[in-house]
Amino acid sequence: MQQDPHATKESRNNSLEVAIGREVKGFRNKLGMTVVELAKLAELSPGMLSKIENGQTSPSLATLKSLAGALNVPVTSLFRQFEEERDASYVPAGEGIEIERRGTRAGHHYRLLGHTVGGAVSVEPYLINLTEDSDVFPIFQHDGTEFIYVLSGEMQYRHGNKVYDLKPGDSLFFDADAPHGPENLNKLPITFLSVISYPSMGVKS
């Protein structure tokens, strides 16, 4: 079915109104002001302000300037939520990008489920599978922090000087700079999620 361009434009306009309304309401709440108090300062009726906050009307530039002045914020701050990019990565079941990492040569199968775009922190979620062909490899080291969550199978997982018995539903969150990785594969196959985060300017090993 062909998308109606007018409907798309209307949806975008509505999202702008909603974004402005949320910002106005957020700033008002931070200042501890009521609708009546802000409306009076901005020389608007309480009803009109209520419609603006609920995204039910398109305020004029003059109205936005009045509101920004009453809230003591720049006019551009009222568009902040609308201008921010919201990224999302969708990976259907069974898909994802196969990745070569240090554990690959030890029979660890990595499937990248997504990644962040821009921002101060990079996040990489992996689905890792271990089988009878996999070797133990408890000496991974890289920048950042890591979170693992076991989906199936059982293993002993080393982090530094400690070894943890991990079963389905167990998780571990740790500093990834210390040596870590599966030390004993107790019940195969093993599947677990691994989410690695690190500063974007950092260099992973």
134 shares its domain with 170: yes
- Residue 136 sits in the same domain as residue 162: yes
Give the CA angle between residues 89, 103, 168 to the nearest 5°. Answer: 65
pTM, 2 dp: 0.55
Does the pLDDT at position 47 exceed 90? Answer: yes
- Whether pLDDT at 169 is above 90: yes
Q: Which of 17, 51, 83 is the last residue of a domain?
A: 83
Q: Among 20, 51, 83, give the residue marking a domain's end.
A: 83
Q: Of 56, 83, 110, which marks where a domain is finished?
A: 83
Q: Is residue 176 part of a domain?
A: yes
Say which CATH number the domain at 39 has: 1.10.260.40
Partnered with residue 110 across adjacent β-strands are 99, 128
User: Is the separation of the CB atoms in 143 and 205 below 8 Å?
Assistant: yes
- Residue 78 located in a structural domain: yes
User: Does residue 165 lie in a domain region?
Assistant: yes
91 lies in a domain? no
The domain total for the chain is 2
Mean pLDDT of the chain: 83
Residues 78 and 116 in one domain: no
In terms of domains, do 70 and 130 share one? no
Q: What is the pLDDT of residues 134-167, one digit of tens each?
A: 988 888 999 899 999 999 999 999 999 999 999 9
- Could you tell me the pLDDT band of residue 3, with boundaries at 50, 70 and 90? very low
Answer yes or no: is 22 within a domain. yes
Dist. CA 100–CA 175, nearest whole Å: 22
Q: Tell me the average pLDDT across 180-204.
A: 86
Is there a domain that residue 89 lies in?
A: no
| Residue 19 lies in domain | 5-83
| Structural domain contains residue 169 | yes
